[in-house]
Chains A and B, each alone.
Chain A
Amino acid sequence: MKFLPENVSTYGGAIDSLGLLITVTVGACLLIAEVVLIAAAIVYRQREGKPASYIQGECWKQLKWIMIPVIIVVLLDCFIDAKTHTTWVLIKGGTPKADQTVRIVAQQYYYSFTLAGADGELDTADDITTINELHVPVDANVIFELEAKDMLHSLWVPALRLKQDALPGRTITGWFNATTPGEYEIACAELCGVGHSAMRATLLVHTTDSFDRWQAEELAPVTSAIEQNATGATP
């Protein structure tokens, strides 16, 4: 699977292994079915003096030839359902304790990201808002609140195995935890208008040190303003 983008999230592995499970089980069934189909079409070609058998497939003795494969399919289905359920609950069932909180607002045709900062509260003085760049520290549970301003959008980060539609009128909470520092693509996966193709952002996963440095740099003007305010207020 060299085409699959490298996974950099904690839960991406679960999705990948679910994909592998389905590929192996269902792929084997597919292969068998195709082989039987093609083989039957070749082996039972019309031949002189070899009439077709009169098989109606109405009694259990004959039906078992399709029912046994079907039961195998049912078992595989149950197996896939079980694994799907655990994976789904892990990812979308709830959020872990937040290390970072970020508000993501999607609109035509860009994303804006508001990082809550050290206090973990949005709409406070230490928020950092960036356009089309999401900065997060590595190995941190990032809880996002996804909103859309105008159209439907879909936050799509292939490397994180993360996709979530954003709808106007509601806030959708989700989470991810990136495991490898680096730069990754963020796209919009839901048709949102003429500029849909150009709607792209970057996810920058920092090491803890470089994230702190970046945060300090971004906050520098704000901090100095607060300090100035503080010094101005005290006579």
Chain B
Amino acid sequence: MQETIEQQPVANYHRHVNYIKIWAILLVLLIVSLIVGMIGYQFFAVWMIFTIAVVKALMVVAYYMHLLWEPKFLWLAVGFAVLCLFFLFLGVVPDILLVKLQLAH
């Protein structure tokens, strides 16, 4: 992580891509996820919808926020944040889902 900063090229400035094209793709993805949602609530649909959400988010991050052209240590910052959430989820989920409960409903 430390080395990458120094090795970054001086000319940062990200290329500007065709933002309207990205927007159109995002829109199509939105419509696809809505259609998938209308089919029903099966396992497949849920996975599809969330995969599409992740793809959409990655596109925004990569092209609108220009993470594609940022130094690697910023990727690490975002990546480690997501990794921490993953740790949190894995550590907590057994206690929420695998316990004998006496809940109100």
Contacts and interface: CB of A to CB of B under 8 A. Distances in A.
A169 B100 contact: no
A147 B103 CA distance: 12
Interface in A183-235: none
Interface in B47-105: 99-103
B64 to A, nearest CB: 43
Contacts of B102: 147, 169-171
Interface residues of A, number: 5
A173 B102 CA distance: 13
Classify the secondary structure of A's interface with B. Answer: strand
A173 B101 CA distance: 12
B70 to A, nearest CB: 32
Nearest to B104: A169
Nearest to B103: A169
Contacts of A169: 101-103
Contacts of B103: 169
Interface string A162-188: 000000011101000000000000000
A172 B53 CA distance: 39
A171 B101 CA distance: 6
A169 B101 CA distance: 6
Nearest to B100: A171
A173 B99 CA distance: 11
Contacts of A173: 100
B6 to A, nearest CB: 21
Interface string A140-175: 000000010000000000000000000001110100
A169 B102 CA distance: 5
A135 B66 CA distance: 69
B96 to A, nearest CB: 11
A123 to B, nearest CB: 14
A170 B100 CA distance: 6
Contacts of A147: 102
Nearest to B101: A170
Contacts of A171: 100, 102
A60 B34 CA distance: 60
A150 to B, nearest CB: 14
A209 B101 CA distance: 37
A148 to B, nearest CB: 11
A169 B96 CA distance: 11
Interface of A: 147, 169-171, 173
Interface of B: 99-103
11 contacts: A147-B102, A169-B101, A169-B102, A169-B103, A170-B99, A170-B100, A170-B101, A170-B102, A171-B100, A171-B102, A173-B100
Given A147-B102, A170-B101, 9 more contacts: A169-B101, A169-B102, A169-B103, A170-B99, A170-B100, A170-B102, A171-B100, A171-B102, A173-B100
Please give me the 3 A-B residue pairs with the lowest Cβ-Cβ distance, nearest first.
Answer: A170-B101, A170-B99, A171-B100
